[in-house]
Structure 1
Amino acid sequence: MNIKEQGMSRIDLKDPDLYQQRVPHDLFAQLRKEQPVYWNDEVDGSGFWAVMKHKDICEVSRNPAVFSSAYENGGHRIFNENEVGLTGAGESAVGIPFISIDPPLHTQYRKAIMPALSPARLGDIENRIRERAKLLIEQIPFDQEVDIVQLLSAPLPLLTLAELLGVKPDVWKDLYHWTNAFVGEDDPEFRQSPEAMQQTMIEFMSFCQALFEERRANPGHDIATLLATVPIDGKAPVLRDFIGNLILTLVGGNETTRNSMSHTIVNFCKNPEQWDKIKQNPELLKTATAEMVRHASPVLHMRRTATQDTMIGEQKIAKGDKVVLWYSSANRDEDVFERPDEFDVTRKGFQHVGFGFGQHVCVGSRLAEMQLRVVFELLAERVERFELKSEPRRFRSNFLNGLKNLNVVLVAK
C-alpha cells in the first residue's frame, strides 16, 4: 500500500498554524529523508503530493507539459483557483494571471513583460533605488527600537514597483495593504471579514480600471502599459486579465523582496559575525544576495497539477493529482547545500529555488537581488550591528514566509 492509500496523513503541510511560529525546517528535513514525495490529505480537498527534494522540484518545474500551472487545472496555489478565484475570495472580476497559464501562452506573456525590465528600459534604476533607499535609511532613528518592516523592508520594493508601474510614489501604502490582503487568506489580520475583503477588492479594482484606461489612452514604457496594451495570442488585453496580472506583479515584486530583506536582518541580528564580513568586505554582496533569498525562502511553495500518469522520483503520480513544490525545503536540501541551515554570506556557486525554477522563474529576480544588494551596501556604511528586540510576528500562511513586523535597533557606527 502506498502513502496515498494509507488514509489521513499524520502531518498536514497545508495547515497555516504549522508556520505561525517558524518554518518547520526540522520536519522538512525528516520528510526529505523518509518521504521526499509525501502524500498530504486535505480535510477540504482531494489531497496533494508534497515534493521536498531540490532535484525533484527542478525536474517538475522544467516539465510544464506534464505538471501544469494552468487555471483550468487548479492554478498555482494549493486551493483550486478555478473554484475559489485567484486570491481564494471568489472574486469573478479578476482574470487569469500569466503565472496560472502554461506555455506557449505563458511564454508570450513573459516576452511582453520583459522589455519593461530590460537594461535599456531601466537605465540607471540602480541609482534611483539607491537614492530611495538612502532617503529611507536617513529617516530611521538609529540606536533606538524601530519596526524596520514599516520603515525600510516594505516601502523600498513598493516604491520601486510604483516607478515600474508609472504611478505616484505615495501609492505604496495602498499597494502594501492590497497585497497583504491578496495573499493573506489564512490570516485574520489581513482577511478580517468577507465584507472587508470585498471593500479591498472594490478599492483595488477602481485603481486598476483607472490605470488600465489611462495606459490604453496614453501608453508609456512601464509595466502597466505593457499589461494593458500588448496583444497576447492576437487578442488585446481586457480589464479583468489586466487586474489578475497586476495582482501577480504587485505580489511578486513586493513580497519576495520585502521578506528576504526582513529575514536577512534577523539573520544578521542572530549571526553578527556574518554582518562583520559584509562590513569588512561589501563586495561579498554581489553574491550574498542569493544566500539571503535561499535562506529566507520568501515563497514557501507553488503548486502544479499532473496532466498524465507519471513519476516523481520513485513515486507514481496519477493524472489529476495536485503536486506542491516546497521551495523552503529544497533550499535546505542536504544533497545540494553544505550546512544547509546555516546563513553564510560567503556561500557561492549554487542554484536556489527561492524565485522558482524553470518556465515560471520570477521575471523580476535580478531586480529583487539588486535592491537587496543596494540596501545592505548602504547599511554597511552606517550600521555597526543589528539588535533584535523581540521575535517578529509572522504571517499566518502556508504560502509566504512573511514578517508583519521586525523590531530591531540599528546601532550606529
Structure 2
Amino acid sequence: MTTATSTRPDFKNPDLYVAGVPHDLFAQVRAEEPVYWNAEADGPGFWAVLRYADIVEVSRQPLLYSSAYANGGHRIFNENEVGLTGAGESAIGIPFISIDPPVHTQYRKFMMPAVAPGRLAGIEERITERCRALLDAIPLGEPVDLVQALSAPLPLMTLCELFDLPPEIGWHDLYDWTNAFVGEDDPEFRQSPEQMAQVLGSFFALMQTLFDTRRHQPGADLATLLANAEINGQPVQFRDFVGNMILALVGANETTRNSLSHTVVNFAAHPAQWQMVRDDPAILATAVREMVRHASPVMHMRRTATADTVLGGQAIAKGDKVVLWYTAANRDESVFADPDTFDITRGNIQHLAFGSGQHVCIGSRLAEMQLRVAFRLLAERVKGFELVSAPRRFRSNFINGLKNLDVKLVAG
C-alpha cells in the first residue's frame, strides 16, 4: 500500500471542488498512478480509480467490488456506520444501489416499468409544456438565476408526476430535501443536526402517507412500484421504501439539474457551439451525451473489494474501499480526444456519468429527454447566454453542483 504524505492530493476533501473540479490534478494523477491510494484523516483510506477502462472493469464485477450496505455502501463514508445520508439516522433503510445481486436485480425489475415507454406515454409532451411555461416566465435580457428559474424546477416537476405527489408538495420541497440528502459537507445544506432532523421529519411524514396510500390504493406511479415491491417473496419494509425514494429523488434530479446548468455555462463560453444548436436542433439527439459527459454531475461512486485482487496493475486487498471517479474517467484522453473541450459534435459517445454495468442509471434516457427539450425550446427564443457572475458551487466531493446561475438570456 502506498504511503501517503501531506503533498499527495486528497480527492475526498470537499474544499478541493469549491472553485471547480480539479481536472488538471485528476489528469496528472491518472497519468502517474491511475489506481491511486488516497489516505483519509478520518478513515482507513481508499483506492481512487481514475481511468475509464479500470472503472468499466470494476463495474462489470459487482460481486468482487461490492456496493452492499454491510460492506459500507456506495459512498466514501460507511453507510452502515453513519446512515445513507451521513446524518446518523436509523429510520432510513437500504436503497437498492447499496445492495448487490441478485437482490439488486430484483429491485431493478420492479423499477424498470416506471421508465418504460408505455408508462411514460406522452411524458415528453408534458415536459415540453412545463418547460415552455418556465421559459415564458423568464424575462429576456435581464439577469435571472437559471437554477431557480429552469434547471431545478424542470426535473423536479417531472418527479412530481412520476411519484404522483399530492398538489401541496411542490418542487421547492423536493429541492430542499435532495440538497440536504447529498449536502453532508456543505454548511448551507446541513446547518445543524436540528435542522437536518426537521428536514427528515417532514420527509418521513410524506413518505408514510405515500407508503400507506399506495399500499391500499395502488396507482401507476413510481411510489406505487416501490411501496408494493416484493423482494425474495417478502413485501418491502417502510424504511427500505424511504431509502429507495431518497435514491430516486436524488438520482432523477441532480443529474438533469446540474447537466443543464453546466451546459448553459459552456454555451456562454462557446457561442459557436450554441449557434450549431440553433442552426440544427436535431444535433441535440446526440449532443446531450456530450453535455452530461462534460458536466459529470455525479463525480464518484464507491465499492468495496470482497477478495484480494489486482486492478490496473495495483494489488487491492479484501476490504479495501475502491472509489470510481467518473469525473476523471470522462476526461480520459485515451478514450476522448481533447477531453477538456466541450464539443457537441462528438456524437453518441459512451461516457460514464450514468455509471456502468450493474448500477447504470435506469433514468438516463429520461434525463437526456429533458435536456433535449430544454435546449430545443431555448434555441427557439435565445440567441446566446451571458453570465452575470460566477456561480456558487456545492461544497461536495460527490455532486458537481451549482447553487445558482445568474445569467442573461439574449433574445434572438
Task: Please report the TM-score for the alignment, with normalisation by the length of structure 2.
Answer: 0.99
**Paired amino acid for 1:312:** L
Partner residue, 1:66: 64
Partner residue, 2:304: 305
Task: Report if the CA contact (8 A) 2:301-2:325 is conserved.
Answer: yes
Partner residue, 1:106: 104
2:343 aligned counterpart, secondary structure: coil
CA offset at residue 6 of structure 1?
4.9
1:246 aligned counterpart, secondary structure: helix
1:323 aligned counterpart, secondary structure: strand
Partner residue, 1:231: 230
What are the equivalent positions in structure 2 for 1:318-333 lying under 5 Å apart?
A: 318-333=317-332
Cα deviation per residue 1:158-183 (whole Å; 9 max; x = unaligned)? 00001000114552110100000000
Partner residue, 2:407: 408
Cα deviation per residue 1:51-74 (whole Å; 9 max; x = unaligned)? 000000000011001000000000
**Paired amino acid for 2:140:** F
**Paired amino acid for 2:37:** W
1:243 aligned counterpart, secondary structure: helix
1:27 to 21, 25, 28: 25
Partner residue, 1:149: 147
CA offset at residue 355 of structure 1?
0.5
How far apart, in 2, do the equivalents of 1:355 and 1:204 lie? 26
Partner residue, 1:96: 94
2:48 aligned counterpart, secondary structure: strand
Is 1:291 matched with 2:287? no
What are the equivalent positions in structure 2 for 1:129-144 lying under 5 Å apart?
A: 129-144=127-142
How far apart, in 2, do the equivalents of 1:171 and 1:89 lie? 24
How far apart, in 2, do the equivalents of 1:233 and 1:333 lie? 40
Partner residue, 1:13: 11
Is 1:192 matched with 2:191? yes
Is 1:82 matched with 2:80? yes
**Aligned residues with identical type, % of pairs:** 66
How far apart, in 1, do the equivalents of 2:8 and 2:375 lie? 42
1:119 aligned counterpart, secondary structure: coil
Task: Please report the TM-score for the alignment, with normalisation by the length of structure 1.
Answer: 0.98
Task: Report if the CA contact (8 A) 2:4-2:39 is conserved.
Answer: no
How far apart, in 2, do the equivalents of 1:146 and 1:6 lie? 45
How far apart, in 1, do the equivalents of 2:330 and 2:363 lie? 19
How far apart, in 2, do the equivalents of 1:6 and 1:138 lie? 54
Cα deviation per residue 1:288-310 (whole Å; 9 max; x = unaligned)? 00000000000000000000000
**Paired amino acid for 1:318:** A
1:122 aligned counterpart, secondary structure: coil
Is 1:275 matched with 2:270? no
Cα deviation per residue 1:69-112 (whole Å; 9 max; x = unaligned)? 00000000000000000000011000000000011100100000
Partner residue, 1:383: 382
How far apart, in 2, do the equivalents of 1:168 and 1:295 lie? 36
Task: Report if the CA contact (8 A) 2:4-2:37 is conserved.
Answer: no
What are the equivalent positions in structure 2 for 1:227-266 lying under 5 Å apart?
A: 227-266=226-265
1:366 aligned counterpart, secondary structure: helix
How far apart, in 2, do the equivalents of 1:230 and 1:89 lie? 26
How far apart, in 2, do the equivalents of 1:287 and 1:137 lie? 23
1:117 to 111, 115, 118: 115
Cα deviation per residue 1:30-53 (whole Å; 9 max; x = unaligned)? 011001000000010010000000
How far apart, in 2, do the equivalents of 1:118 and 1:214 lie? 23
1:50 aligned counterpart, secondary structure: strand
Cα deviation per residue 1:167-223 (whole Å; 9 max; x = unaligned)? 145521101000000000000000000110011001100010011111011000110
- Structure 2: 5+ residue runs without aligned partners? none
Task: Report if the CA contact (8 A) 1:9-1:40 is conserved.
Answer: no
Task: Report if the CA contact (8 A) 2:4-2:38 is conserved.
Answer: no
- Structure 1: 5+ residue runs without aligned partners? none
**Paired amino acid for 2:149:** L
Partner residue, 1:208: 207
1:255 aligned counterpart, secondary structure: helix
Aligned length, in residue pairs: 411
How far apart, in 1, do the equivalents of 2:400 and 2:101 lie? 28
**Paired amino acid for 2:106:** Q
How far apart, in 2, do the equivalents of 1:32 and 1:232 lie? 40
Task: Report if the CA contact (8 A) 1:9-1:39 is conserved.
Answer: no
1:373 aligned counterpart, secondary structure: helix
**Paired amino acid for 1:24:** P
Q: Which moved more, 1:232-241 or 1:164-173?
A: 164-173
CA offset at residue 7 of structure 1?
5.5
CA offset at residue 124 of structure 1?
1.0
CA offset at residue 373 of structure 1?
0.3
CA offset at residue 350 of structure 1?
2.2
How far apart, in 2, do the equivalents of 1:340 and 1:317 lie? 28
**Paired amino acid for 1:265:** V
How far apart, in 1, do the equivalents of 2:194 and 2:166 lie? 28
Cα deviation per residue 1:112-166 (whole Å; 9 max; x = unaligned)? 0011111011101100100000000001111100000000000000000010001
Task: Report if the CA contact (8 A) 2:289-2:348 is conserved.
Answer: no
RMSD: 0.9
**Paired amino acid for 2:16:** L
How far apart, in 2, do the equivalents of 1:259 and 1:181 lie? 16
Cα deviation per residue 1:289-348 (whole Å; 9 max; x = unaligned)? 000000000000000000000011100000000000000000000000001000011112
How far apart, in 2, do the equivalents of 1:8 and 1:93 lie? 38
CA offset at residue 271 of structure 1?
0.7
